[in-house]
Amino acid sequence: MRVSGGYAGQTNDVITAWYRGPPGQDDTEVDRVPLPENGAGWQPRTVLAPAGARTIDYLRAENTYELLDIDDVAISTVPQPDTTVSSGPQDPSNLRSVSFGFAANQPATGFVCRLDAAASPSPCRASTTYSGLGEGRHTLEVAATDVYGVIDATPARYAWSIDLTPPETSLAGTPAGAGAGFAFASPDSDLARFECMLDISSFATCQSPVSLGDLAAGPHTFAVRAVDRAGNVDPTPATRSWTVPPAPLPVAPAPLPEGRDRDQDGVLDASDDCPDIANRDQADIDRDGIGDACEHLAPGNVAPVAGVNAIVRLLSGEVYVKLPARAPFASPGRPALFQEQGFVALKGVASVPVGSLIDARNGTLGLQAAGNGLPPTSPRARREQATLRAGMFQIRQAKARAKVRRSASIPTDLALLTPAGADTACRQATAPHPAKGIVRSLSATVKGAFRAIAGASIASTHNATFTTTDRCDGTLTQVGRGSVSLQSTHRRTPVTIKAGRAYFIKARLFAARKRRPVHHR
């Protein structure tokens, strides 16, 4: 409350606080404060209910003269005002300059602060900074002053420690070859963490012990430092330096003695159909001379079905197969895997799904496909044969349709594929003179309905030997035996090419295509 009045020197001029007693008992006085002297103006006065008091029910003014005014009576469950420290340094801290933020539960006209053992509080702001502090424990007391001039009787306290001493780090361990193991510790009782670094990398949090392996040949250095809770870092990390010797040069294996059994399956390598993988039973379900344990693709002892699968056999050199995405491939007795990327080597004979990609640039293979939609067991089912080399292609074939006679011929398509980077010259050439380099080709000897799909033409035949070549400036078809019907992608009428003849269809192939303009309505 604010009070004006009273009379100087009258010790009985007071304001008292009371609470009412039970029926039949007297009221009890819980606090009293003196009145200000006459003429002193408005001054704040605070009455408090002491601990254990029930409440304050009424106030009583006792003054000698009738010069007493009371204004702005405020009631609170806590002494007015009440102060809090809203922000301060971490505990512990390694900063000698620290900042604080203060707040009060009522509008404050200012704060008074006392740091450590200062004789008396001094005015301070709601945001205060202290600099040049020493190492050790510190305590700050702060009290708010409200609009009536009342100072918080129970100042807020904030205690923290300043630690400026960095921790020490010890390291134990001896590197051995390409591996190393280290243990580390610190005598600092206020340790927060360790940080490690190998060679010229950055320090990172680590825990003891640390194991290192597969280190490259050459010099190496391991460093570790301790960090305490105040943020002090050991300025002299513990280190170990060593050199990993280079690996010994490989020794050429000794010639295998006659009668060697590498996979130790009881079958000598000279007779073993899979000498690198133990297969005592020598199982070879498709009888292609490659043991089932060494097969990567499905066995080739099945019949081809139109639009489903074809049979391929390695004849010479190296041939690779890439199955369609998520197509299973496995050998009997081995779990089914799924080829998601890359090619696998063709060994012996195998059944591959229609849609498979074949890389025969450095080898020759035989291909067998269904010639019509009849079941393989039907006496009228036809088989188509082809010998293919010097190219990359995809096997394509339509399935038998329900409304078409199953005995009708179903051709097998060999769609030429472009090796990676082979068309670079075409893309760099400028019109009107495109480059003439060969980009892709395929040589085939076929018996049955086959079609070679190139960039500017489709070559169809039933019995012929021919080569289809795609260049930057068009497609060249050369026929060595039989005849080929050539359908250009730019004209409707096919051209028949007989043995010993060649035909070239000009077209700008593989060049970067310009986008057509988009018209907006």
**How do the domains of the chain map onto residue ranges?**
2-71, 83-162, 170-244, 292-506
Nearest CA to 438 out of 356, 514, 509, 371 is that of 509
pLDDT at 73 over 80: no
pLDDT category at 9 given cuts 50, 70, 90 is: very low
Report the range of poorest mean pLDDT among 31-40, 167-176, 199-208, 373-382.
31-40
Cα separation, 282 vs 267, whole angstroms: 9
Nearest CA to 487 out of 515, 446, 454 is that of 454
Average pLDDT, the chain: 83
Mean of the pLDDT values across residues 479-505? 91
Look at residue 3 in the predicted model and tell me its pLDDT: 57
Report the range of poorest mean pLDDT among 20-29, 280-289, 298-307, 496-505.
280-289
At residue 111, the 3 state secondary structure works out as strand
Mean of the pLDDT values across residues 401-415? 83
Look at residue 448 in the predicted model and tell me its pLDDT: 93
Cα separation, 103 vs 110, whole angstroms: 10
pLDDT at 300 over 80: yes
pLDDT category at 246 given cuts 50, 70, 90 is: confident
Look at residue 498 in the predicted model and tell me its pLDDT: 95
pLDDT category at 30 given cuts 50, 70, 90 is: confident
Look at residue 64 in the predicted model and tell me its pLDDT: 59
Of 146 and 92, more confident: 92
CATH superfamily of the domain spanning 83-162: Immunoglobulins (2.60.40.10)
Q: What is the pLDDT of residues 111-158, one digit of tens each?
A: 999 999 888 899 999 999 999 999 999 999 999 988 877 888 889 999
pLDDT category at 515 given cuts 50, 70, 90 is: very low
What is the share, in percent, of the chain residues with pLDDT greater than 70? 83
Cα separation, 452 vs 477, whole angstroms: 10
Of 408 and 273, more confident: 408
pLDDT category at 247 given cuts 50, 70, 90 is: confident
Cα separation, 319 vs 337, whole angstroms: 20
Q: What is the pLDDT of residues 257-291, one digit of tens each?
A: 566 878 777 788 777 778 787 778 777 777 777 77
CATH superfamily of the domain spanning 170-244: Immunoglobulins (2.60.40.10)
Residue with structure tokens 């190393």? 180
pLDDT category at 327 given cuts 50, 70, 90 is: low
Look at residue 376 in the predicted model and tell me its pLDDT: 87
Buried b / exposed e across 267-289, counting CB within 10 Å, b at 16+? beeeebbbbeeebeeeebebebe
Cα separation, 484 vs 505, whole angstroms: 14
Look at residue 77 in the predicted model and tell me its pLDDT: 59
Q: Please tell me which of 18-22, 122-126, 400-404, 507-511 the model is most confident about, judged by mean pLDDT.
A: 122-126
Pair 409, 371: CB distance under 8 Å:
yes
Q: What is the pLDDT of residues 186-216, one digit of tens each?
A: 999 889 999 999 988 899 999 999 998 888 8
Q: Please tell me which of 67-81, 85-99, 415-429 the model is most confident about, judged by mean pLDDT.
A: 85-99
pLDDT at 465 over 80: yes
At residue 409, the 3 state secondary structure works out as strand
Look at residue 53 in the predicted model and tell me its pLDDT: 58
C-beta neighbour count of 51 within 10 angstroms:
5
- CA distances from residue 42 to 3, 70, 442, 466 in whole angstroms, order as listed: 5, 9, 110, 118
CA quadruple 276, 281, 284, 287: dihedral sign: positive
Cα separation, 334 vs 95, whole angstroms: 67
Q: In the chain, helix, strand, coil percent, each to 5?
A: 0, 45, 55
Mean of the pLDDT values across residues 57-79? 66
Q: Fill in the DSSP letter of residue 426.
A: H
pLDDT category at 517 given cuts 50, 70, 90 is: very low
Pair 399, 306: CB distance under 8 Å:
yes
Nearest CA to 69 out of 43, 49, 31, 30 is that of 43
pLDDT at 366 over 60: yes
Joined tokens for residue 119: 């004789």
Look at residue 125 in the predicted model and tell me its pLDDT: 93
Q: Please tell me which of 53-57, 152-156, 441-445 the model is most confident about, judged by mean pLDDT.
A: 441-445
The string of DSSP letters for 298-348 reads: EES-S--BTTTEEEEEEEEEEEEEEPPTTEEE--TTS--EEE-SS-EE--S
Look at residue 76 in the predicted model and tell me its pLDDT: 64
Look at residue 325 in the predicted model and tell me its pLDDT: 77
Radius of gyration of the chain (CA): 48
Nearest CA to 486 out of 501, 472, 473 is that of 501
